[in-house]
Structure 1
Amino acid sequence: MVVDYLSLRVNCRRFRPHIYMVIVQMASAFLYFITEAAFNHGMNPHVYVTYRHLVGGIAVFPFAYFLERKTRPKMTLSMFIEIFIYSLLGVGLTINMYFASLKYTSPAFLSATVNTIPTLTFILAVVFRLETLNLRKRRGLAKATGTLITLAGVMTIALYRGPAIKRLWEPLIHLMKSDFHKNWIKGPILSLASCISWSIWFTMQGFTLKRYPAPLSLATWANFIGAAQSAAFTSLAVRHHPDAWVQKSFINIATILFGGVVSSALNFIMIVWSSKEKGPVFVTMFCPLQTLLVVIFAYFIVGEKLYTGSIVGGVTIIIGLYLLLWGKAKDRVVIITSEKKPSLSAIKQNEPKMQIVTVIERESLNQ
């Protein structure tokens, strides 16, 4: 009975990061459409980023202050500089370029280019030895193959349309569309630059969490510092339009609150926690799911056309994501052993103990 209970706990903990990342991608996919609607209502992307992360910092601060007051490391100058760079890569620089590119492109295009992040992060993680890659073993081959297949699916969605699927009913929501701001040179450049910066941020996260192992406090610092960095940049970008800071539209205010509380607070915490548990590559390899969700939302809810290229690319992405998950699942092996502890209770003497050993550690112990 005790072993079964421990096995259940192991399975729950094993799949918790998976559930978290699915929630993150669903929230991010929904955020594409409400932010595009807010931008079409005149909200400046840089003002949005500033307000969003200010709200996110306020939302996380109480939890970080009370829950991590005993475990939070002391802040030093070197640690503050590292978190400042961490915030710049994760918020101040990346998010500003990310949403600026949405203003010049479309949700479907941006969600497709975001899927270059797993490949870039995987390469950086291997270079900095945060991820192992042994092509002689099935798990290493699965991770490499899954990455390439996922990238192929993304490229299919981005470059191939094919015939449009006939619509069977009217969309539930009609978002105001405008094409005057589309710029297919500036937009892709900003999108690609944000993906590169984001990949560096995900890789840096592994090192920062080791030096500052307090996810809630780290999320609070990153939100507040990122908001300050974005405010400094935004003050230059809208210096001739001070009224850009004033938001009166309901969709604009709702987008800021949703983006701050859900994306910059809850999603940020789940990403940091999952990265701490599973590594940066695990977090980024759920990005393809976001592309698939955007395509589904765009067709069934918003009313955008669905092309056969998107269907083929979506199926390809799912296959690649499955291979990546299978390869990563083999990185941790759960071993349940029985160890006797001196105790007055005979039950406690034979209480099974759970030990989690990584594949690398197991191989080193066998040598």
Structure 2
Amino acid sequence: MKMALKKGAIYLHYKPHILMVVAQIGYTFMYIITEASFNHGMNPFVYVTYRHFVAALVMLPFAYFLERKTRPKLTLALFLEICVLSLLGVSLTLNMYFTSLNYTSPAVLACMVNTISSLTFIMAIVLRLEVVNIRSSRGIAKVIGSVVSLGGVMTMTLYKGPALKNIAGHGVIHTRGSKTVVQENWFKGSLLAVASCITWSIWYIMQAYSLKRYPAQLSLATWMNFVGAAQSAVFTVIVQHKKAAWTIGFDIDLWSTLYGGVVISGIVTVIQLWCTEAKGPVFVTMFNPVSTILVAVLAYFVLGEKLYVGSILGGVIVIMGLYLLLWGKEKDEGQSKLKEPEDLKTHMSPSDGNKLNEEP
């Protein structure tokens, strides 16, 4: 009995960690599937629009029935807040993000996404969502971990080193040869990726505040998908006039849209919202390096892309930084839990203490 309770306590403690690893695995396959879909000719703007409409339609019945008793009333102020969240997390950010994927590669984009954790960490400190005491080992570990992770990302991005021999041949999925020809497009894609990382970081921070006013993860995710899809549709209609771009067949375009909608914009978004409410936005973004390493490995075997020594070295550095950050956060949470009973005793009056000591 005690063993079962102990295992249950361990699972509850590490549940957010497990969920975030699962989320990053989901992101990993998204990179590969969307890359194949874009190579097939899928328009990134159309993909973002369809993907979030799919997510909203799938999640709507779950949000309506499971949260009908706990869902707060949606006021005009909350709806406007959701519109901003949708702009930052769906329409603006993802359109820039997937357009950059069209110009670069899954491995490069996954590397740049890791800057989100450092940006979110800095914003969280400024807004006092994250406490850092540089006089303690916990605070030092969090700062060093953030810097080390960023250093690993920079290593993966700026240092290539020698390429490993591709034992997978040309890969299962072939990428477009024209992608590596135009350096200007690569630069444009990098700028779009950086811009999307900045807006994404703001989105994660804003979620922490929105969840306090609207603590219904399923409903919030559904609203963001609906509004974000509508915003993206308006933008796409303006920039994309060809009707053929809106037509998808029973092929990789359909599968990538369904996967992105159900798994990423649906399940993974709810996981992230739950973990943001439980652990904060910094915790959620700290796991981005996991998908970076998995994408690099899959791109090597599946897409036939080259794997460089710099990517491996950067990946190791990123994981070291992630471990330091996680260690610092875990110690901070443990310390705050120890302080709670002490604070309770400090604020109790003598009469309150006598009442507690009285026999029932």
TM-score of the superposed pair, with normalisation by structure 1: 0.89
Following superposition of structure 1 onto structure 2, how do residues 57-136 of structure 1 map, counting pairs within 5 Å? 57-136=56-135
The letter for the 2-side match of 1:205 is Q
Q: Deviations over 1:30-54 (max 9, x none)?
A: 1112111111111110000000001
| Count of paired positions | 343
The letter for the 1-side match of 2:332 is D
* Counterpart in the other structure of 1:198: 200
1:360 Cα offset (Å): 6.5
Quick one: distance in 2 between partners of 1:197 and 1:362? 39
Q: 1:129 to 1:262 in 2, by over 3 A?
A: same
Note if contact 1:113-1:191 (Cα within 8 Å) is conserved in structure 2: yes
Quick one: distance in 1 between partners of 2:152 and 2:4? 40
SS in 1 for 2:178: coil
1:311 Cα offset (Å): 1.1
Note if contact 1:50-1:230 (Cα within 8 Å) is conserved in structure 2: yes
Quick one: distance in 2 between partners of 1:311 and 1:359? 39
* Counterpart in the other structure of 2:255: 254
Quick one: distance in 2 between partners of 1:128 and 1:172? 46
* Counterpart in the other structure of 1:209: 211
Q: Paired residue for 2:234, among 222, 232, 235?
A: 232
Quick one: distance in 1 between partners of 2:171 and 2:244? 33
Q: 1:58 to 1:326 in 2, by over 3 A?
A: same
Report % sequence identity: 54
Quick one: distance in 2 between partners of 1:361 and 1:114? 36
The letter for the 1-side match of 2:214 is Y
Quick one: distance in 1 between partners of 2:194 and 2:170? 31
Q: 1:134 to 1:172 in 2, by over 3 A?
A: same
* Counterpart in the other structure of 2:176: 177
Quick one: distance in 2 between partners of 1:205 and 1:131? 14
1:264 Cα offset (Å): 0.5
Q: More helix per residue: 1 or 2?
A: 2
* Counterpart in the other structure of 1:281: 282
Note if contact 1:40-1:178 (Cα within 8 Å) is conserved in structure 2: no
1:301 Cα offset (Å): 2.7
Q: Deviations over 1:163-198 (max 9, x none)?
A: 111233436613232325850221111111100000
1:302 Cα offset (Å): 2.4
Note if contact 2:82-2:223 (Cα within 8 Å) is conserved in structure 1: yes
Note if contact 1:149-1:317 (Cα within 8 Å) is conserved in structure 2: yes
1:361 Cα offset (Å): 4.2
What runs of 5+ residues in structure 2 fail to find an aligned partner? Answer: 347-360
SS in 2 for 1:168: coil
* Counterpart in the other structure of 1:340: none
* Counterpart in the other structure of 1:26: 25
Q: 1:105 to 1:5 in 2, by over 3 A?
A: same
Quick one: distance in 1 between partners of 2:12 and 2:80? 33
The letter for the 2-side match of 1:306 is L
Query: Is 1:162 equivalent to 2:161 in the alignment?
Result: yes
Note if contact 2:110-2:295 (Cα within 8 Å) is conserved in structure 1: yes
Note if contact 2:171-2:305 (Cα within 8 Å) is conserved in structure 1: no
Quick one: distance in 2 between partners of 1:310 and 1:259? 26
Quick one: distance in 2 between partners of 1:117 and 1:176? 27
* Counterpart in the other structure of 1:352: none
The letter for the 2-side match of 1:56 is A
SS in 1 for 2:302: helix
Note if contact 2:175-2:303 (Cα within 8 Å) is conserved in structure 1: no
What runs of 5+ residues in structure 1 fail to find an aligned partner? Answer: 335-356
Note if contact 1:47-1:245 (Cα within 8 Å) is conserved in structure 2: yes
Q: 1:68 to 1:160 in 2, by over 3 A?
A: same
Quick one: distance in 2 between partners of 1:363 and 1:304? 56
Tell me whether 49-58 or 304-313 shows the greater mean CA deviation. 304-313
Q: 1:198 to 1:362 in 2, by over 3 A?
A: farther
1:209 Cα offset (Å): 0.2
1:307 Cα offset (Å): 1.1
Q: Deviations over 1:304-340 (max 9, x none)?
A: 1111111111111111111111111123239xxxxxx
* Counterpart in the other structure of 1:353: none
Note if contact 1:143-1:324 (Cα within 8 Å) is conserved in structure 2: yes
Quick one: distance in 2 between partners of 1:139 and 1:315? 21
Q: CA RMSD in A?
A: 1.8
1:129 Cα offset (Å): 1.0
Quick one: distance in 2 between partners of 1:366 and 1:92? 49
